[in-house]
Structure 1
Amino acid sequence: MEVNNQAFLAVALFISIPTAFLLIPYVKTVSGSSVSSESN
């Protein structure tokens, strides 16, 4: 099965960008809530 470089790049961006947008606030919320008194 041949994979086009542009198709691979498009799929990688299509998956990674929304994942990052969802994952970053989630990680900040989890890490912030567990050590909320020490971080401020």
Structure 2
Amino acid sequence: MEVNILAFIAITLLVLIPTAFLIILYVQTESRKAS
């Protein structure tokens, strides 16, 4: 099975970017509650 590296990179970015964005929003919200 040949893996297309560009497709792999594209999927990784599509998954990681929204996930990181949600994590950042969550951390900011939690830090505001704590302070």
TM-score scaled by length of structure 2: 0.73
Larger Cα Rg: Structure 1 or Structure 2? 1
Identity %: 57
CA-based RMSD of the aligned residues comes to 1.2
> Which structure is richer in relative contact order (CA contacts within 8 A, separation 6 or more)?
1
Any runs of at least 4 consecutive aligned residues in structure 1 with deviations exceeding 3 A, and if so which? none
List alignment gaps of at least 5 residues for structure 2: none
Q: How many residues align?
A: 35
List alignment gaps of at least 5 residues for structure 1: none
